[in-house]
Amino acid sequence: MINRTLIKDLQSSSDGPVTVSGWVETVRDQKKVQFVVLRDETGAVQLVNPRATDETGAVTATDVSDTISALSQGSFLTARGELKHDERVKLGGVEIKLASLEVASLAIPETPIADDSGIDKRMDWRFLDLRVPKNALVFKIQTTFLHALRTYWVEHDFIEITTPKLMASASESKAELFRVEYFEGSAFLAQSPQFFKQMAQPAGFGKIFEVGPAFRADPSFTSRHATEFTSIDTEFSWIESHEDVMKLHEELMVAGFQAVKDKHGADIEALFGFELTVPTVPFPRIPLAEAKRIVAERGYEVPRADDDMDPEGERQIAAYVKEEFGHDFVFLTDYASSIRPFYHMRNADDAGLTNSYDLIYNGVEISTGAQREHRIEILEQNARDKGLDPEELSGYLDFFRYGVPAHGGFGMGLARVLMLMLGLANLRETTYLFRGPTRLEP
């Protein structure tokens, strides 16, 4: 491995010999001096090469100057030279006077995307798009956010599981399944780890989490849908109600946001132009019926007849919460059993409602959570009420025949959280390689 110094560490390094590696961002090939801005995964630095002259003062060619003259934007190289601190240098207050250059590979001079390229074109050339510091920062933030969540889970004795993504039958809705060939038969790509994370409760794991892919055969072309996405899931036992799930959920979000602000707050301000807010706890909680009444009083009638909240309703209730509570998050609770899965526990006082919630962040739903129904006879009846055949669910229902504690959990889309955290308009920006109804490449 090349013994290189990361560019972010140059400011704290002493003047003297140094080696850096990265890709060429710009070249200024002037008559008497050459400048190269070199960028690596941590920052950018200016390389300087005063052109050599003969005894008459005429410029003469050298290997370094010839190499620089042949460089194209995006070429990868290793540079060796003398590090010098100079506050007059705008780019980090340091520069490197070149001694040698070693080109790893030259780039084609004509770059296929530009700063004003549309998002589809950028996605075609995603590996180039991700060289842009603002775009790369998204995935540094993602790393920090997930690490903070994992740290919270591990410190609270949760077990990490990895569930299968090939399934024999639907996990939730047959309407959104991808069917794939599987030897002599068929299998389905998992829509969520729901059934498997519940299986960990009668197994005695108690508290589990998973971060993994999920697949939805949903032909949506909105800015917040994808056919493959990263799902953040957790499930845990011995809860009293969905309030316990909400408490865990908000604590996880605070841990994640605080870690991001601590590590990347300055970069977010510099590249995205705002100061990240760490939410306070508890998050506001509003029953869905009350939320719809509030939205109606603001002049918007939710048109859905299925007791759900539509996107405009989510935006309106989020605006209300921001005005009244100064908060970016709100739990909408007490969803009707008619629109919730059969495994959501019904409210003890009103069977028409469930012990469930949606978490709305900056006007967009990012998660659904609930207390699960753990009593087998009620589960079977709930399934029948939904028009489902308990025989077809026998593999899942077996989890509940040999003893299981009261439990609950949630699933949350990672890309949506990051999109809303950074004020971006499309989750393609926060997905490493997006998959949608018309995109399978790169």
Least confident of 47-56, 64-73, 92-101, 395-404: 47-56
Cα gap 70→27, rounded to integer Å? 10
Contacts of 300 (CB under 8 A, 6+ apart): 312, 313, 316
pLDDT per residue as tens digits for the range 378-389: 999 999 999 999
Q: How confident is the model at residue 31 (pLDDT cuts 50, 70, 90)?
A: confident
- Is 294 exposed, middle or buried (CB count within 10 Å of its CB: 0-12, 13-18, 19+)? middle
pLDDT at residue 173, as a whole number: 59
Q: Greatest CA separation found in the chain?
A: 98
Label the pairing between strands 59-60 and 364-371. unpaired
Q: Would you list which residues are annotated within the binding site for ATP?
A: 365, 413-416
Mean pLDDT of 45-71: 83
Domain 7-105 has CATH 2.40.50.140: yes
Q: Say whether pLDDT at 227 is over 90.
A: yes
Q: Say whether pLDDT at 174 is over 70.
A: no
Q: Say whether pLDDT at 341 is over 90.
A: yes
Q: Would you list which residues are annotated within the binding site?
A: 172, 216, 365, 368, 372, 413-416
Q: Say whether pLDDT at 60 is over 70.
A: no
pLDDT at residue 303, as a whole number: 85
Mean pLDDT of 15-19: 97
Cα gap 367→293, rounded to integer Å? 22
Q: Say whether pLDDT at 306 is over 80.
A: no
Mean pLDDT of 394-412: 96
CATH topology of domain 127-430: BirA Bifunctional Protein; domain 2 (3.30.930)
Cα gap 367→413, rounded to integer Å? 7
pLDDT per residue as tens digits for the range 209-224: 999 999 999 898 888 8
Task: Give just the sign of the alpha carbon dihedral 190, 173, 433, 162.
Answer: negative
Asked whether 162 and 210 are in contact (CB, 8 A), the reply is yes
pLDDT at residue 99, as a whole number: 95
Q: How confident is the model at residue 80 (pLDDT cuts 50, 70, 90)?
A: very high
Q: Say whether pLDDT at 305 is over 70.
A: no
Least confident of 84-93, 170-179, 429-438: 170-179
pTM of the model: 0.94
CA atoms within 13 A on the CB side of 297: 9
Cα gap 265→140, rounded to integer Å? 12
Among 169, 136, 178, 147, residue whose Cα is nearest residue 271: 136
Label the pairing between strands 185-189 and 329-333. unpaired
Q: Say whether pLDDT at 404 is over 90.
A: yes
Asked whether 216 and 174 are in contact (CB, 8 A), the reply is no
Q: Which residues pair with 213 in a beta bridge?
A: 230
pLDDT per residue as tens digits for the range 176-213: 899 999 999 999 999 999 999 999 999 999 999 999 99
Q: How confident is the model at residue 357 (pLDDT cuts 50, 70, 90)?
A: very high
Q: How confident is the model at residue 51 (pLDDT cuts 50, 70, 90)?
A: confident
Percent of the chain beyond pLDDT 90?
90
Mean pLDDT of 245-249: 98
Cα gap 353→340, rounded to integer Å? 9
Cα gap 231→406, rounded to integer Å? 23
pLDDT per residue as tens digits for the range 256-295: 999 999 999 999 999 999 999 999 999 999 999 999 999 9
Q: Do domains 7-105 and 127-430 have the same CATH topology?
A: no
- Is 105 exposed, middle or buried (CB count within 10 Å of its CB: 0-12, 13-18, 19+)? exposed
Q: Where are the domains of the chain?
A: 7-105, 127-430
pLDDT at residue 307, as a whole number: 78
pLDDT per residue as tens digits for the range 140-152: 999 999 999 999 9
Asked whether 97 and 13 are in contact (CB, 8 A), the reply is no
Tell me the average pLDDT of the chain.
94
Q: Would you list which residues are annotated within the binding site for L-aspartate?
A: 172, 216, 368, 372
pLDDT at residue 139, as a whole number: 98
Cα gap 34→365, rounded to integer Å? 52
Asked whether 21 and 79 are in contact (CB, 8 A), the reply is yes
Q: Cα 117–120–125 angle (5° rounding)?
A: 75
Q: Say whether pLDDT at 57 is over 80.
A: no
SS3 state at 440: coil
Q: Say whether pLDDT at 58 is over 80.
A: no
Q: How many CB atoms lie within 10 A of CB 416?
A: 23
Residue 27 phi, psi dihedral angles, 5° rounding: -130, 130
User: According to DSSP H, which parts of 47-185 are helical?
Assistant: 63-69, 119-124, 126-129, 133-155
Tell the residue number behind the tokens 């591990």, with chain if given.
154
Cα gap 57→59, rounded to integer Å? 6
Asked whether 251 and 278 are in contact (CB, 8 A), the reply is no
Q: How confident is the model at residue 52 (pLDDT cuts 50, 70, 90)?
A: confident
